[in-house]
Amino acid sequence: MLTAAGTIERTAGIGPVDRRLFGAFVEHMGRSVYTGIFEPGHPTATPEGFRGDVLDLVRELGVTVVRYPGGNFVSGYRWEDGVGPVADRPTRLNLAWHTLEPNEFGLDEFIRWSAQAGVEPMLAVNLGTRGVQEAMDILEYANHPSGTTLSSERIRNGSPSPHDVRLWCLGNEMDGPWQVGHKSADDYGKLAAQTAQAMRLVDPDIELVACGSSSRAMPTFASWEATVLEHTYDHVDYVSLHAYYENHDDAASFLASAVDMDAFIDELVATCDHVKARLRSKKVLKLSFDEWNVWYQKGYQSTPKPVWEEAPHLIEDDYSVLDAVVVGSYLISLLNHADRVTVACQAQLVNIIAPIRTEKGGPAWRQTIFYPFAQVARHARGQALVLPLVSPQIGSDAYGTVPAVTCAATIDPQHQRLALFLVNRDQNGPIELEVDLRSVGAGEILTHSVLSDPDMHAANSATNPDRVTPKAGDGAVIDGGRLRTVLPPVSFSTLVIGTT
């Protein structure tokens, strides 16, 4: 059997694991909102019309932050359409997705849903068709306590206390030519800086995210950020990055794809720090990886556009064990960059390329990708630690040679827990792993869970919702302060170990 080995040093910390790393995304797109999180009349619906079965799954998933209302949708959105008496709300064209937006769910509903889901709301403002004034208005409506026309309107609409939203995105993917109101880096940078400055006058305590590149493959990647940050560096707290990957009939490359995510983060950090140096700034910018996931975009691009329907089935990808293992490797990448990436949102949450799926009037179920997210959100606490491994190497056409085992470790001194997250990318066989844990004072193994399957294409469905679930791992031992375990081929494992 192939072997991998490494050593954990308690003092070799990367950075604190920010709970905001376990975010998700709800966009007005397809069935994410309507018949996803919101379905009045559903047997499990709350009095507000929120799907109770979905709320339960969101809580189980362990999501901490949810970004809303888009995505591409936000670049043509008038937020006022979604507040006030529902009967008075207009139906609009959702230009991003060629569908109809009934506006039955809007800002106030989202805030109420967030409270019930136990998540922090993260809002995006429209910098595609709108600008400084509308961004100030939505912020005043949401966060100003009382005594102005907009705050009184919120109060009249049933929210006497301010929504107190801290995290705000200054637009979405403004580098993308597909974006309604797409701009050059220079134009967007100036608008984002002015908007940020004005929004901080309304509420100085907000945290702001400037749009970075919508993928590392964008021809403007890095120069876009450099220009945008020249304008915005002093005004924002984060710059965003988005990444979607898929299996192009080449599982080895797909399994290796987290190395692209690693490189994307490292290159963006370098770009931010270059601007920091140029501006002689003392501020260290953080990264908000506010869209990431597996997305079979080839399938989406070959499907005809919806014809101005409400809530059609759109990019409801079915995820396999292979996809879940790859998602596990992205979570590992995020943890290994915990010093700079402190906000991240898996895109999306329900139905649209999502860990949770629903049927209208019917059940909700967990997709395979639910499990690695839930494990990491639950167990990755405290500090992320460096875990250098000597691992067998695997060749891939898209990313060259990569380690067969990728891993992350976190240590939680408060609860005396060490958590290890491990992916075996090798399709040909198990790998034996030995990790020297003597410096953390390892005690007993508290949790050992493994997601793998003889059929890596196996998936869950409405009729077979539990075809794929993580299983209890066996055979892991700690002997003389050294952990020994076997990682099955194409697997994601979580080990939680008590520490002294």
**Residues lying near ligand AHR in the complex (CB under 6 A):** 27, 70-72, 172-173, 214, 291, 347-348
State the catalytic residue, choosing from 27, 109, 134, 173: 173
Residue 35 vs 348, nearer CB to ligand AHR: 348
Cα(127)–Cα(229) distance, integer angstroms: 16
CA distances from 172 to 75, 108, 210, 297 (A): 7, 21, 9, 19
Q: What's the angle, vertex CA 247, arms to CA 242 and CA 253, rounded to 5?
A: 90
Residue 212 vs 470, nearer CB to ligand AHR: 212
The residues, ordered by sequence, that sit 6+ positions from 89 with a Cβ below 8 Å of its Cβ are 81, 82, 102, 103, 104, 106
CB of 435 to ligand AHR, least distance (A): 36
CB of 244 to ligand AHR, least distance (A): 7
CB of 438 to ligand AHR, least distance (A): 44
CB of 124 to ligand AHR, least distance (A): 9
CB of 173 to ligand AHR, least distance (A): 5
CB of 424 to ligand AHR, least distance (A): 29
Q: Is-catalytic flag, 291? A: yes
Rounding to the nearest 10 degrees, give the CA dihedral for residues 222, 223, 226, 232: -110
State the catalytic residue, choosing from 39, 109, 291, 316: 291
CB of 293 to ligand AHR, least distance (A): 8
Q: Which residue is nearest to ligand AHR (CB)?
A: 71
Q: Strand pairing partners for 50?
A: 38
CB of 302 to ligand AHR, least distance (A): 17
Residue 27 vs 140, nearer CB to ligand AHR: 27
Q: Strand pairing partners for 261?
A: none
Residue 125 vs 423, nearer CB to ligand AHR: 125
Residue 72 vs 375, nearer CB to ligand AHR: 72
Residue 71 vs 128, nearer CB to ligand AHR: 71
Cα(490)–Cα(480) distance, integer angstroms: 29
Residue 27 vs 426, nearer CB to ligand AHR: 27
Whether 25 contacts 316, CB under 8 Å: no
Residue 193 vs 243, nearer CB to ligand AHR: 243
Whether 45 contacts 328, CB under 8 Å: no
Q: Which residues are catalytic?
A: 173, 291
